[in-house]
Structure 1
């Protein structure tokens, strides 16, 4: 008599990785649509999984945000690096602003992770340590080439990116390309086409001042 062997159990590691990818895919859509105010319950529901499964893969929303947006922010870093290597400094500068703005305009979660980080440290760490210096280098190349106003700093460019994303919010679904108009207006204001410029009021923010201005504590009113 032949003894039937019991079927091998499904490998838990493979199931765990499958669930992790399912959670990340759902989080991409949920955060892109609702921003980082969406909850782990929202992500679990969208993924068709129990919230307990989500918590087994990610201890809290900060952990999920870090896992999800590190790659996307590194993509922005890559864009800035490519722009810095462009033969034409102005073309590289404009290309970076357009590409970065387009990515953030269509992904609310990415926009918040980069510009107003409240969850996790990936946005703060990467944006400050890797993205910020590249934007400063890109800005300096344009200043040195005489194609950018001599008084524009990298932190001014970071502030302009905020303004462009505010335009994306204003345009909303009714005018999803509205941010492009705002970017075009800002780019015109950055060029040194005039023989003279009115001095910009005040000084550009330092890197520390920009970091402090965008910190969750500051934006929450110091609570």
Structure 2
């Protein structure tokens, strides 16, 4: 604090704000790293230790783990939004659809926490509403472009692409958790095999079988994937 009459600026408060912001970013970075490896079962205490910070510091920046997950989810939404923008920028609509599914499933395969958030296995209502409002229209547009070009079968919608990601992230999780065969070093890439089998099934130039269940609407999809608050 400055003495009366002094012209020296009081730098204590700006320094505290800067330290608080840096600690928040350290916690988000540590949370992403830890959740990517261990999933969302890791605690806020675990994240604090991983960040090299005290537990009290963590709880001053985030009241609970859900607040940290929500902050991470907002970052992930931006990253997925960029993937979708790149997909929509592809001149060929089918290439755009493939790009979206390849990149989005790769991101979730290497980040267990992201996969759990995007498949609704843990997300607060605010972040999940943001995911629906920001990303779902772009996913629908990726599907519509490919469908309207005659390359994607006519009965496939954007919500189908979401559930394909849910399925493939489950394959990736099984491959990560399972006992690794001694003669294989590529099990972390196993989900890609099923992605390409799926892509063949999505193409309109095949002779598709009638689908036994209709697609869900966007609202129904997000209601199904939403966890209880």
Scaled by the length of structure 2, what TM-score is found?
0.85
Kindly indicate whether residue 146 of structure 2 is the aligned counterpart of residue 142 of structure 1: yes
Contact 2:201 2:208 in 1 (8 A): no
Aligned position for 1:129: 133
Contact 1:61 1:119 in 2 (8 A): no
Aligned position for 1:66: 70
Residues paired across the two proteins, number: 210
The 5-angstrom pairing of residues 60-99 of structure 1 reads 60-99=64-103
The 5-angstrom pairing of residues 167-206 of structure 1 reads 167-172=171-176, 174=180, 175-194=187-206, 196-206=207-217
Greater shift after overlay, 74-83 or 97-106?
Answer: 74-83
Kindly indicate whether residue 202 of structure 2 is the aligned counterpart of residue 215 of structure 1: no
Greater shift after overlay, 108-117 or 184-193?
Answer: 108-117
Contact 1:73 1:114 in 2 (8 A): no
What root-mean-square deviation, in Å, do the aligned CA atoms of Structure 1 and Structure 2 show?
Answer: 1.9
> 1:177 offset after TM fit, Å?
0.7
Q: Deviations over 1:160-185 (max 9, x none)?
A: 11111111112217411111111011
- 2: CA distance, partners of 1:119 / 1:134: 20
Q: Secondary structure at the match of 2:188?
A: coil
Q: Secondary structure at the match of 2:56?
A: helix
- 1: CA distance, partners of 2:134 / 2:17: 34
Greater shift after overlay, 12-21 or 44-53?
Answer: 12-21
Aligned position for 1:54: 58
Gap regions ≥5 residues in structure 2: 1-10, 181-186
Scaled by the length of structure 1, what TM-score is found?
0.87
Q: Deviations over 1:36-75 (max 9, x none)?
A: 1211011112122221110001111121112222122111
> 1:13 offset after TM fit, Å?
2.1
Q: Among residues 158, 164, 184, which one is paired with 1:160 in the alignment?
A: 164
> 1:91 offset after TM fit, Å?
0.4
Contact 2:77 2:131 in 1 (8 A): yes
Aligned position for 1:30: 34
- 1: CA distance, partners of 2:130 / 2:165: 16
Q: Measured at CA, do residues 104 and 146 of structure 1 come closer, stay the same or move farther in structure 2, by a change above 3 Å?
A: same
Gap regions ≥5 residues in structure 1: 1-7, 218-222
